[in-house]
Amino acid sequence: MTPADPRRWAVVLGASSGVGAAIARDLAVEGGYDVFAVHRGNWPDGAAEVEAAVTAAGRRCVFWTADAGSAEAAAEGVARLRAVAGAQSVGFFVHSLASACVGRLAIGEDPLHPRQLTRTFDRMAHSFVYWAQGLHQGGLLAPGGRLLGLSNLMTDEVVRGAAAIAATKAALEMYVRHLALELGPLGHRVNLLKFGFVPTAAAQRTFPAEAFERLQTVMQRGTPAGRLCTPDEVARFVTFLASPGAEWFNGATIDFTGAESQSFFDQLVYAGR
């Protein structure tokens, strides 16, 4: 474990399951961070496992159960974090919220309602800005603090019913670029990590069961390695992005897809051969 500054905290939104949970564990165990973790309470067992792993690594772990995807939640979360960690304490912030509404935009009996679109954008895109504003304006970012958003292949591929997800990820990419421009002169770094399909519980909830099974099959066949990425692989790379070796990344959309999207055409042509 890398020794950490006693005032160095990582804030992870969506830390009780899947990729977010793996990131929280790895940042503590391998990165030496104390962890302020936010989750909605849907996976209490997962949250308990994360807390056990972080404390076993000798780091502090504070869980806050809340829907982190609103401006009000960001303001409250920043206040709670300040009470626990103090000023200039956050070295790394990870936005791993995966709550989305799935559905068509116009066709069918029940297209996405404006409230569903607003909720999806708040949780998966706008909240990144809300937390960045709160951390900066509240004086919580440590010198050289880093902010990381998570994205996927939805911005490159068209998947039926996933328009809202794709749109939020596209917006998130623009937010990252502009925040990198604004915060870069202050010594901070803001990036976006785009990784391949990971079969998490959150992803399984997003799609109907049959569609989810087909999606796994297609993604696995369409990846040159012949398998899917794992949450732990994503987490290890995120911990690298928190290290001194990744200091020059800024405003970047980092491809961690394993060339998943690049071989779709090959799969269609040579499927089964």
| 3-state DSSP percent of the chain in helix, strand and coil, to 5 | 50, 15, 35
Q: List the domains of the chain with CATH numbers.
A: 9-206+232-260 (3.40.50.720)
Given a contact cutoff of 8 angstroms between Cβ atoms, the answer to whether 92 and 33 are in contact is: yes
Beta strands at 253-256 and 61-65: parallel, antiparallel or unpaired:
unpaired
Dig out the tokens for 151 from the structure.
């994205």
What DSSP assignment string belongs to 29-55?
HTT--EEEEEE-SS-HHHHHHHHHHHH
**Do 164 and 100 form a contact (C-beta atoms < 8 A)?**
yes
Residue pLDDT tens, the chain, 273 long: 444 454 599 999 999 989 999 999 999 999 999 999 999 888 899 999 999 999 999 999 999 999 999 999 999 999 999 999 999 999 999 999 987 888 889 988 889 999 999 999 999 999 999 999 999 999 999 999 999 999 988 888 787 888 999 999 999 999 999 999 999 999 999 999 999 888 777 667 666 777 778 777 777 777 888 888 899 999 999 999 999 999 999 999 999 988 876 655 566 556 555
Q: Both tokens of residue 130?
A: 């809300």
